[in-house]
Amino acid sequence: MLTDSEQLEAELSAVRADTQAEISHAAQHEAIARRDRMQADDAAEQALQAAEQARAREQAAEARASDAEARAEQSERRATRRTRSRAPRPPQPPRRPPR
């Protein structure tokens, strides 16, 4: 049989163990939450970088499309000019010899 002081010491040890377990459990939760926040921050940073790269690719594609359109218009104008210059000329009356 335990004496009152031994009983109190046993209860105090049990309370300390429970408290330590709760502290450890809380620390684990905090570490998990911190890790989750870090992973979320990394994912957000990667998403921002991907969006910036996508914007840059989009702008480059728009610039290439604009250049291609300008070249196509220029080629079309050249082709139109060539077609006009190659068009048959209307017949002219015969020239009279000089007198």
pLDDT digits (tens, 9 = 90+) for 49-95: 999 999 999 999 999 999 999 999 999 998 888 776 665 667 777 77
On whether residue 98 sits in a domain, the answer given is: no
Domain carrying residue 43? 9-81
47 part of a folded domain: yes
Q: What is the mean pLDDT of residues 22-42?
A: 98
Residue 10 has pLDDT above 80, yes or no: yes
Q: Has residue 45 been placed in a domain? A: yes
Assigned domain for 60 exists: yes
Q: Is residue 54 part of a domain?
A: yes
**Residue 91 is assigned to a structural domain of this protein:** no
Domain count, the chain: 1
DSSP code string of the chain: ---HHHHHHHHHHHHHHHHHHHHHHHHHHHHHHHHHHHHHHHHHHHHHHHHHHHHHHHHHHHHHHHHHHHHHHHHHHHHHHHHHHHSPPPP-PPPPPP-
pLDDT at position 28 over 80: yes
Question: What percent of the chain is predicted at pLDDT more than 70?
Answer: 92
